[in-house]
């Protein structure tokens, strides 16, 4: 769960993919993951919640559902519909053969949860990974 | 990676995204996602397909019609399409620039 350094949309996507690859033993093709996420953004911005974006999609470059949470204190212009900067990012990447659409169900749970302004504030204020996870779980 | 394989992987990812948007569009829209770029994404897929050699593209299309996914990852020396064993020689340096196919099912192989 990195604090993002990049200040624009392409930079944020690249930074998050780099973190994903660094933290994974099985993901070795960052170019393929980045290309997929960029294509997904071309379909329409994934910044849908107030200050929250959910870059997502499927690619051959992952073997199981992979999630990354990241945040940007300064906020990033992620082409949100409301024009506001995006501070929280939840990346969900699934393999092509996830036939039960597990990742879409996970996406639905997250987009619903992140409507809660108090939760978003807790996530932004979380000082470490454990407190971030605890806030997300509702503890 | 073989440059044509790189394009086939990107094409399969985009085509799956298009199919999923068409199948799950209502669900995704209900979550708040804007899917207005679908036509642009289809154009991107067509452009990418135009960069792939016709013989590879035709083979990819045939496999997609037959199996759903033409390109499959190799995991633990297995083709994840049919679970046939992939000989170790397939990953040798001399084969690095070849488009590899599973000897059992014919799917195009990708080493993630």
CB-CB under 8 Å, A61 with B112: yes
User: Do residue B34 and residue A111 have CB atoms under 8 angstroms apart?
Assistant: no
- Is A63 in contact with A28 (CB distance < 8 Å)? no
What DSSP designation does B93 have? Answer: G
Domain-wise residue ranges, chain A: 9-137
CATH number assigned to the domain comprising residue B7: 1.10.287.1490
Residues of A in contact with B40 (CB under 8 A): 42-43
Domains: count for chain B:
1
Q: What is the CATH number of domain A9-137?
A: 3.40.930.10
Option in B20, B28, B75 nearest A63 (CB):
B75
> What DSSP designation does B86 have?
P
- Residues of B at the A interface (Cβ-Cβ below 8 Å)? 1, 6, 9-10, 12-14, 16-17, 20-21, 24, 27-28, 31-38, 40-41, 44, 69, 71-73, 75, 80, 110, 112
Cα angle: A22, vertex B94, B58; to 5 degrees: 85
Segment A53-101, tens digit of pLDDT: 999 999 988 888 899 999 999 999 999 989 999 999 999 999 988 767 7
Query: Which residue in the set B10, B13, B40 is minimally distant from A42, CB to CB?
Result: B40
pLDDT tens, position by position, B18-38: 999 999 899 999 999 989 999
**How much of chain A, in percent, has pLDDT values that exceed 70?**
97
Q: Which residue has the tokens 């799956």?
A: B16
* Enclosing domain of residue B85: 3-110
Helices (H), strands (E): how many in chain B? 3, 3
């Amino acid at each position: 769960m990195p604090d993002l350094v990049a200040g624009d949309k392409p930079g944020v996507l690249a930074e998050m993919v780099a973190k994903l690859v660094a933290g994974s033993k099985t993901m070795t093709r960052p170019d393929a993951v980045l290309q997929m996420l960029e294509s997904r953004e071309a379909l329409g911005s994934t910044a849908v919640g107030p200050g929250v974006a959910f870059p997502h999609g499927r690619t051959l470059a992952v073997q199981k559902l992979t999630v990354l949470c990241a945040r940007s204190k300064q906020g990033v212009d992620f082409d949100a519909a409301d024009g506001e900067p995006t501070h929280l990012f939840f990346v969900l990447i699934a393999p092509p053969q996830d036939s039960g659409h597990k990742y879409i169900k996970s996406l639905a749970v997250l987009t619903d949860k992140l409507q809660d302004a108090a939760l978003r504030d807790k996530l932004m204020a979380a000082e470490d990974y454990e407190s971030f996870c605890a806030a997300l779980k509702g503890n | 990676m073989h440059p044509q394989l790189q394009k086939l992987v990107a094409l399969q990812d985009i085509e799956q995204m298009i199919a999923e948007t068409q199948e799950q569009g209502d669900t995704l829209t209900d979550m708040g996602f804007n899917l207005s770029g679908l036509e642009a994404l289809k154009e991107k897929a067509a452009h990418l397909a135009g960069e792939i050699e016709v013989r590879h593209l035709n083979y990819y299309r045939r496999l997609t019609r037959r199996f759903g996914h033409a390109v499959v990852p190799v995991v633990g020396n297995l083709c994840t399409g049919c679970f046939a064993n992939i000989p170790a020689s397939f990953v040798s340096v001399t084969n690095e620039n070849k488009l590899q196919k599973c000897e059992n099912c014919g799917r195009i192989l990708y080493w993630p």
